[in-house]
Chains A and B, each alone.
Chain A
Amino acid sequence: MLRRMQFIPGRLIQTIPVVFGVTLVVFFLGHLLPGDPAIAILGEHATPARVAALREQLGLNLPLGVQYGQFLLHILQGNLGQSLTYQVPVASLVLQAVPVTLSLLLFALIISLAISIPLAGLAAAKPGGAWDYVARGYTLLGQGMPQFWVGIMLLLLLAVGLRVFPVGGYGITPLDHIYYLCLPALTMGIAMSPTIVRSLRSSTIDVLGSEYIATARSKGSSGTALFRQHVLRNAVIPTVSIIGVHLGYLVGGSIVIEKVFAIPGLGSLMLNAIFSRDFPTIQAVSLMVALFVVAVGILTDIIYTLLNPRINLSEGGEAV
């Protein structure tokens, strides 16, 4: 087992150039915008004196290479700059927002799996049967409805109408957080599940037709025991990589959802920073999101290896 995990250090080293590239993009984000970032920040009617002062503060008068070098150095020191809007270190803003977004994503993932696994299993048990139609209808609906619209509809139904869940916010205690995250997580979970249902349904049908399932049945295994012990562990393998790809994409979706439900996560931080032209914050959030996507990639490989003993991503992998 340990031997098969030897690929992890190598994979971490591989991420260094990726992260380096991300810092390049993030850094030049501000410089790619037409015109002077200082003017972009202060607005077109700022006095030349204020523009000059800000240029000095942002170090915009230095050569580009030096500026980038300083930027990198600051990142390595954990200094992501000073938020122009809040006048506090960006790092502290980001550190507050990251756990919020992570819990939202994790919660959404759990909900979407809780929807997808039984639905895909029931659909695959009898292709063309009643549950299969339910699953197909659900994936069609789920893919057809825009995420923010689902969020608003859930709000109207469960928060405004039935008053089961809060309309927005994040609460104070950890239990509060879970309660407040229910609706946004459900919204994102619904958005994620159609792809998972589709992938899981087709791989489950494949697995159910395989000889080892006949073997398991010849041992008297059936129903949920068969599904849990023999079907799911095999069927979920291709789905893991799909979820991995999807999670990165979902961070983008979380921006809108966090706005709809007023969740103080990375998305809200990003959106507010964009509206107020808070460049250091935009840069920091972009960097965090990019790092998150890279981390999800590695995590996907690890889970993939854990689930599938035939996969050996480490070099010189050998049979027992």
Chain B
Amino acid sequence: MTETPLLSVRNLVLGVVRRGRPSTIIVDDVTFDVAQGELFGIVGESGSGKSLTLRAIAGLLPGGVEIISGSVEYKGRNFTSMTSGERRALMGPEIAMIFQDPMTALNPVVRVGEQIAEGPRRHLGLSKKDAMDLAISMMAKTGIPDPIRRAKAYPHELSGGLRQRIMIAMALSCRPKILLCDEPTTALDVTLQHQVLGLLEEMCANFGTALIFVTHDLAVVNETCKKVAVMYAGRIVESGPVRSVLRDPRHPYTKGLLDSAPDFDHPDRMLKSIPGFPPNLANRSVGCSFAPRCEFAQPECVASSPQLEEVGPDRLSACFEKFTIFEGAHA
């Protein structure tokens, strides 16, 4: 792709800052691009730094966590050099976010219609009535039955699935260019998950919105995204087109994730868990973070940390043994 990417994350390092000095690095040297309308997934287990990366893009890092170095550029403009006012003006019309738990992500004392209308009123300069009309039409678009009545409801009066639809309606109400999704289906029933994913995909396609989708669920990424980055212990260990990464992993961690997930094409296959635990980020080793859990680990894996290198068309892997392990594994 030669056109300038919509969003460009370059060598992003996030860390806990104590007394003005970085003490623990949580996200280390993360780099990726998202093009217009692209569906991009970030996969990893809890604590891999995937959600924090997303929050850094949204400017919603929790207290104490800061961008230590690197940059997040939107349409060529660097977030870190923007004023907070300029930054916030982007949130809504350019970048929007959907959170994991629709039970806690809606303000419990404000009617849902008003919560959807808030963004359009602020960013699109709509009158109270026009914004509410837009909110109701957005609710209708997300498939909420009887939106006029539901707009007057409080969040606790709606089911989880409806609430997540409200979140989607809210996030897309200003037609953002990028939608950040932080495990938006994790808190939902499996049957609802499928519906909500389908809706997200459809709405993003209609509005030409790019999607950055953070999840621990490989099946969800497979269903929703075109490109994927796999994160482990704060680093991207593998990235590439979803199809080829999932079919033909080039990093032992990705392979471990795939082996530990049930595969309905081969129901007889034994599930393999990855032994051990993710490393403590407070005392990182100099070597590959995955080495202590890796069945293919060599002495060099403990001595230094592998960089992301090209392993195929549009594919990157950070593993010293990437060619020896996976050579001919999948023809």
The residues of A with any CB-CB pair to B shorter than 8 Å are 210-212, 214-222, 229-230, 233-234, 237, 307-310, 319-320
A218-B96 contact in complex given A233-B109, A308-B109, A309-B109, C-beta closer than 8 Å? yes
The residues of B with any CB-CB pair to A shorter than 8 Å are 58-60, 84, 88-93, 96-97, 99, 101, 104-110, 118-119, 122-123, 149, 152-154, 156-157, 167, 170-171, 180
Tell me, in angstroms, the Cα distance from A221 to B170 when the chains sit together: 13
| B105 pairs with A214, CB closer than 8 A | yes
| B154 pairs with A310, CB closer than 8 A | yes
| A310 pairs with B108, CB closer than 8 A | yes
Tell me, in angstroms, the Cα distance from A216 to B149 when the chains sit together: 23
| B170 pairs with A214, CB closer than 8 A | no
A221-B108 contact in complex given A215-B99, A319-B157, C-beta closer than 8 Å? no
| B88 pairs with A230, CB closer than 8 A | no
Query: Which B residues touch A307, using CB under 8 A?
Result: 109
Tell me, in angstroms, the Cα distance from A210 to B167 when the chains sit together: 16
Query: Which A residues touch B167, using CB under 8 A?
Result: 215
Q: Could you say which of A215, A218, A220 contacts B107, with CB atoms under 8 Å apart?
A: A215
Query: Which A residues touch B107, using CB under 8 A?
Result: 212, 215-216, 230, 233-234
| B110 pairs with A233, CB closer than 8 A | yes
| A220 pairs with B109, CB closer than 8 A | no
Write the nearest CB–CB distance from B132 to chain A, whole angstroms: 15
Ordered by A's residue number, 27 sampled pairs between the chains whose C-beta atoms are within 8 Å are A211-B99, A212-B108, A214-B60, A214-B97, A215-B170, A219-B91, A219-B118, A219-B119, A219-B122, A220-B88, A220-B89, A220-B90, A220-B91, A220-B92, A220-B93, A221-B88, A222-B84, A222-B88, A229-B110, A230-B107, A233-B107, A234-B107, A237-B109, A308-B108, A309-B109, A310-B156, A319-B157
Tell me, in angstroms, the Cα distance from A237 to B101 when the chains sit together: 23
Most buried by B among A214, A215, A216: A215
Query: Which A residues touch B122, using CB under 8 A?
Result: 219-221
Write the nearest CB–CB distance from A235 to chain B, whole angstroms: 10
Tell me, in angstroms, the Cα distance from A253 to B154 when the chains sit together: 40
A219-B154 contact in complex given A234-B109, A309-B108, A310-B108, C-beta closer than 8 Å? no
Most buried by A among B105, B107, B149: B107
Besides A215-B97, A233-B109, 4 other A-B contacts (C-beta < 8 A): A219-B96, A220-B119, A309-B108, A320-B149
Q: Which 4 A-B pairs have the closest CB atoms?
A: A218-B97, A220-B91, A211-B104, A309-B154
Query: Which B residues touch A211, using CB under 8 A?
Result: 99, 101, 104-105
Query: Which B residues touch A308, using CB under 8 A?
Result: 108-109
Q: Could you say which of B110, B153, B180 contacts A230, with CB atoms under 8 Å apart?
A: B110
Tell me, in angstroms, the Cα distance from A212 to B119 when the chains sit together: 14
